[in-house]
Structure 1
Amino acid sequence: MQRPRVSPDPIRADASTSERRASLVAAVRDAFALRATEANRLAIDALPDQLADLSPGRLYAIYARMGWPGCNALLWDTVREARSRHVTVVLASTRAAAAERMRERGFAPGVAALGWPRRLNVLAMPQASQAAEHAEPANERASSHAARPAFAHLFGALRALKRFGFRSHALYFVEHAERWFTWSDPDVLAREGRLLANWCEARKITLVLLLDSTLDAEAGADKDALAREDRFSMHANSADRREFHGACTGVAHLHRTHGELLWRVDFWRSGHALTTGEVHSLRFTEAGRLTVAPELAAAPAAQAAMSRLAGDEERVVATRAVVRDERWVPAEWTVADDYDAVHVACTGAVATTVLLDYTDGASLEALCATVHTLRRQCGRALKIVVVERGEVLRHQYELLLLSLGANLLLGRDLPFSRVQSLLRSLQGQVDTRPVATDYKAALAAALTDAVRGYLPVAAFCERAQAVLERGAQLSLPHVLAKLPLLPQVSHLEAMKSCKPRRAGDVFTADEANLYVFLFACRLPDADAALAHIFDVPVERWSDRLVYLAEASIAREVKALAEANRRAPIADYSDVFPAASTQVAVAVSASASASTPAQRASGKAGLKVGPRKHDIERAREAASQLQAVEAILAHIDGESVRANSDADPGTENEAAADANRGTDAQAAERAPTSMAMPRRRAERHMMPLVRGRGETT
């Protein structure tokens, strides 16, 4: 028996279809309503929810530098992942500039950009008037603020946004929102903040104000990246803004400090929880997103390797001289022709690796200027590497470049594969050393005057003290070698064997010791330096060699100067004219005629020696000195023989007449330009060597 077929009731079928459609629409509406009521979140990976939630109907203030990669990543990644259907971004730029920024993110006319909110509005609100305002002098700016009515900017901005409609549970981001408020009057600023917070709560609108601290009067004049990074406490924490911040649900700072990007929270409310004083280091992922720096002990090695200080940390810029002799260079490297081209290539760089070449001393000043400028303009995350491609850097030049901001110095014989390995070791590091304010002053401290050889005790002490004071900012090491002379050793014999070859190395002597000041010499290199200075082994003159460094030099020099003031120590300048005064004069004259690069590098002082006529004059002075010494010895012998017969007064008069006669004869024999000063025999505790092992 078959069951009869029953025809469906059309009225009933239409009713069931309508019910299903209505239930589907209600479910979709509820889903969208639930999504709209959910809190949005800042796009910083691994940031705790209590520091990242954006609750509906709340006002937030984030201080950041507009245009930085970190600020752009925070803004656009948060907008892309917003849970609200209606998202509005107010850009502080012209319409053409705003359209260009949107094209960079995949938007084009007639093409739907996937992954973005369907109701995304991007508005352009130029800030030409604001830029003109900050170009005014401070007194005129204050008077204009005082004359401007309260709430004028805020009401004008909200009226401009009203044209595009306000939606409940919408999310708003406003760039350069500081132009909406009256910062000159704390009371008016607090009232504006409370009014805006009440407006957001009444309309259930989440408003995030992006405040650019660089437009402030204090930070606007600060163009130095290092000064901006090193100033951790920002002007935004001033007492004038506390009431304004109290109207906000959260206040945070996104800025670089000592080369590292930080998310610093003054306070942040999430539900019933309040978090204050949190600081998190941020990194960039390979996709360009912000993430909290992983803890080295807990994070996987792969995750730690993918995090970067900035998006350009994998970029390398090198001068052509660095890679000139290499057969293969990575294709992703940027090769610049010279230092000026490196400046252009590093515009806007944050963590790029820069390779600069050192060829010879003539390029030292330009190299110092480049290193200092890059460090000051780009900040502490930039990696600056100096590679030797000619001469070897002297020790004081290494310290100079490190004090100006260089991260690493590489030798000229280092293989290119090792260079790449060392560059990889710099990834993730920031430069934390103090950087000199003026590179010219640091360069002057690393260079020395073109003086070498013998100096009198007073001049020796003055020069040593000046060199120590000038090199203190570089922590430049020096060595003072003290050689107590053996009893049978003549001072002149020991000093004549001391022949410094480097500018800045000087020596002197007192009654019992020979002092040698080694400029920019490390203590382990002192033995080798003395071996180059003395033409015979040092053990021949002294059996006990004492090296002084750092503070010990200052104490020894001070004691030597005090002893010279109490009892003047013998001066041997007439024996060593070409080694001290004449060389210094010749070098200074040549340096004045040399190029600025040569003067900065010290090449003129190193290459220029005593002139031919200076050597002849020195030889003539030495011969005259020998003649005077012989006459004095003859007079002393005659006076001793006549001592028993002559009256003491007559003897003294005769000796005086003889001395005047010999002095006159010596002056007549000497040229007018080289007239020797009158020299009298001085009693001195110095043995006179007559033969092997015989002294008197």
Structure 2
Amino acid sequence: MKNHYALGLQQVQQELNSLQTPGLYWITCQRQEDARILLRQVVSQQNAATLISAADKPQALMTPDPADGPARMPLFSLPANKASLQQLESDFARVLDSHSGLVLFYSQAELWAKLSPDELVIWLKRMRRMLINKQITLLMIASGTAIIHLRNHLQGYFRQLDGVAHLDFQQDSWQYRINWWYSADKLLADRAIRLSCIEDQFIAANESEQNIPLSLNDENQFLAQEGVLEGAPPLSVQWQLFSDNESVFSRAQQANAATVIFSLAHNQDINSLAKMVHSLRRSRGSALKIVVREISTTLRYSDERLLLACGVNAIVPTAASLSRFLTTLEGIQGQQFSRHVPANLNALMQALQPLQQKGYLPLDAFCAAVQQLMSNTLLPENDKGLMVALRPVPQLKPEQILTLCKPRRFGDLVTLINDRIYLFLSSCRFNDLDIALKSIFSLPHDELFSNRMVWFEDNQILSEAHKIRQLTPVVQRDVSAEPIAAVPQPAHAAETVRSAQTPQPISLNLNGVSRP
């Protein structure tokens, strides 16, 4: 009879909560703190266990001590490099046996990027062969910013892995998603369980209190801000038009399954709209259809993600025609909103809009803000924004460019280092870069800069931020004590300034700006 180990997830069915021997299982966690809690919870269920860590020291992972578990447990550290990974199978064969209990291997997701896909397949095959020979169960737990990349790779290793699952943090709860899990001669796949964390223990949440409307007799009604119809009258007796979004929200608080349509014309209205959407979705249930129509180009994809996370069924971009908008409304009829909406709106907004800064920052503050954003695991990997280095044309000095640089969105940051302007554009995609630069600079950006460099991957941005943080401007000065001297501008730039009646560069108080 096969020996079985327990994960320790409370109120989760046994088949999804156990690991058989021999076995090779892999669980990925979005956040490092969740991986630590899970690790200690698994250890607390064992009579014998062995812990290997290629990230933090294993003693730190077991702090605070698990409530239960083995009285003594072997702890091993592994250097976080490719050679150590490739040697791990032979180390296991030499040190471990069937009396080692459940073996847990904790690492950062970035470690596995050191192996190519072919090397990882070979590694898994060799490890699985050793586990079968030694009658050992190995549970891999990984976390970190590169977790999405690792998850995508694990999908293809069904033959080598007995189970793959993912633990995702969702502000007020966790979703435990099982790709497949083999236990007790049963194979279960494609399961999702919502978990709560109580006293450092993951426990299945009670979903019975979901808000299901008692009546759907208003499912054919449309409650809309009048601007979404581009001046057209109500399309039928089922349509009710209101002068502003607040009036739509007030009426929608009595709706059960109606289609509620908000308009969005200004970026500064996004947070207030998100609050209205969140309140409706939490209070009126899943049958309500909530739509946002963009009246002017306003949304970045981070804003779209926020609105969707708050409970929006569909967002109609400003480029969509009225007929396309009406087709979208038709397409969502009968839908039930199935995604989880966290109760804590402030935590949700802070997670999806983490940078509440904009404009000029000294170099150290600029780099710190960028590095903080890059470490946010709730934002999509390699899609958190752009780092742009801009070199002014010879006729202009970088200090003058700063007087023309007016970032308007939170998360758009600028700093000055020697002869370059560095911009970080949060939640800006590469194909939107020219639009963003046109909005930020009061003169045509292609006339202000002789060249530019762009970084968009997380590792590239982090590397560049670290590099420029080590640089020291050629000469430091106190800009508040001395105004910036004006220099001649190019003729075409001067003509543009006069035609647009843009004021000439003026004295600017910035701390830590350098000049030659």
Q: Which has the higher helix share?
A: 1
Q: TM-score, normalised by structure 2?
A: 0.44
Structure whose CA Rg is larger: 1
Report the TM-score when normalising by structure 1.
Answer: 0.34
Which structure's residues are more often strand, by fraction?
Answer: 2
